Amino acid sequence: MAFHPKDEWPSTLDVPALMTDGWAPAPFREFVVKVHSRCDLSCDYCYIYEMADQSWRRQPRRMSLDIAHRTASRIAEHALHHELPEIVLTLHGGEPLLAGHDLIWNLVTETRKRAGPEVHVHARVQTNAVGLDEPYLQLFCELGVRIGISLDGAAEAHDRHRRFASGRGSYKAVRAGLEGLRQDQYRHLFGGLLCTVDLRNEPVATYEALAAFDPPRIDFLLPHGTWDSPPPGRSPDQAQTPYGDWLITVFNRWYPDPVTGVRLFEDIIRLILGEATSGEAVGLSPARLVVIETDGSIEQVDSLKATYDGAATTGLHVNDDPLDSALSLPAVVARQLGLMALAPQCRACPVHRVCGGGLYVHRYRSGTGFLNPSVYCPDLMHLIRHIYQVVQTDIRTRLLRRHNAATLSSPP
């Protein structure tokens, strides 16, 4: 099947023709529910509040119980229709803990009830941990909700961006929430730490500050930026690779002694070895995530809000539309096409199956839409080539050791 997207796609994407040619969308398997649309922090890099799309201002602060139940029904309907054995329900915001115990309890229990025994619902929450107190930990323990926490390193690094509206840093409050989560009775709920890369933070010190909390996994996120609004330190000079250099420094510290998982590095290694990954940062796997806002609107992944106003909008609503309706939208299809959705220079690149063009949002440029390489293209190329060389050398060394050991143990 050949597909040559135009400059302005996905608006011009011919979805019926794709389906006629044998392509079919992959059903959603992660459902991000915005239970609260406001936040108790005022992070200056937040893509929801500080970037191009300001639709949060029109959203109700808290999802109503009626919309929560309707959302649970739509999620269960989708999972059962596609015979999905398991799905992920992610509580998000804003700051989801502002929604209150009753709403969270109702959403999780109703989704599981309506999905029934045929579907295992993995529940997660992504929080700034400022409000992660003992009652919330008890609730999440009762519901089996895994907890991901945003932390950008030690106090100075974290408080550079992640502050209260008053300007006071949040590190002390976040650390208290983390220490509560690390108690023996709650430790199993710890999902991991999410860290946004800041080039001003020393990479190894940042990694070690995160690893000191003994998380099961660390996610290093590149700050959202586009060709129109490049991320901090991303020079137009394509020869420079500041983010690649930063991540390589962390990789070189992590790889010989991986005391915790680092999703980006693990995904790149898997892709180098020919395996598939489910994330969107690298690789060509179809995007299988959908968002439900506090008012019940069905949207695409909300990182798209960093590109232009209305980028995540679908025009669909849980009161009127099944989630399947979103699967045929050109904007959703575009994020599922994999190789076919890459710019010509990306398809010609030798590492495109590992890079995958980078995160979709980072490809945006007005006039050509998302049909561009990632604004982080040189950084990703540098990082992937470095990891490839390290892993290749490691495999050769291990094979040689095994060969020598077998030779020495063989009888003359």
Q: What is the model's pLDDT at position 324?
A: 97
CB 357 within 8 A of CB 374: yes
- Asked if 325 and 313 touch (Cβ cutoff 8 Å), the reply is no
39, pLDDT greater than 80: yes
45-51, long-range: CB within 8 Å, 24+ apart, which pairs?
Answer: 45/161, 45/196, 45/223, 45/224, 47/224, 47/302, 47/303, 47/305, 47/306, 48/94, 48/302, 48/305, 51/224, 51/229, 51/305, 51/306
* DSSP assignment of 259-324: SSEEHHHHHHHHHHTT-----SSSS-PPP-EEEE-TTSEEES-GGGGGTSTTTTEEEEETTT--TH
Mean pLDDT along residues 326-339: 90
Q: How many CB atoms lie within 10 A of CB 299?
A: 22
Task: Give me 137's structure tokens.
Answer: 């930990």
* Cα dihedral 252→255→261→266 (10° resolution): 90
- What is the pairing mode between strands 145-150 and 261-262? unpaired
- What is the helix (H) or strand (E) element at residue 384, kind and residue range? helix 377-409
Q: Say what the pLDDT of residue 400 is.
A: 77
What average pLDDT does the segment 154-181 reach? Answer: 95
- Among 10-24, 254-268, 322-336, top mean pLDDT goes to 254-268
Q: How confident is the model at residue 133 (pLDDT cuts 50, 70, 90)?
A: very high
- CA-to-CA distance for 112 and 117, rounded, in angstroms? 8
pLDDT tens-digit readout, 179-198: 999 999 999 999 999 999 99
Which of 5-19, 30-44, 273-287, 306-320 has the weakest average pLDDT? 5-19
The answer to whether residues 227 and 369 touch, using CB atoms and an 8 Å cutoff, is no
406 CB-near residues (< 8 Å, 6+ apart):
none
Transcribe 45-71 into DSSP letters: T-TTTSSS--GGGGS-SB--HHHHHHH
pLDDT band at 276 (very low <50, low <70, confident <90, very high): confident
Quote the tokens at residue 31: 């459902």
In this prediction, residue 55 carries a pLDDT of 82
Preceding amide of 232 cis, omega within 30: no
* Cβ pair 285, 355 in contact under 8 A: no
* CA-based radius of gyration for the chain: 22
pLDDT at 6 over 60: no
Long-range contact pairs involving 388-395 (C-beta distance under 8 Å, separation at least 24):
388/272, 388/354, 390/251, 390/252, 390/255, 391/269, 391/272, 391/273
Q: With contact defined as beta carbons under 8 Å apart, do 37 and 59 qualify? A: yes
CB 280 within 8 A of CB 22: no
* CA dist list (Å): 403 to 87, 324, 361: 44, 53, 46
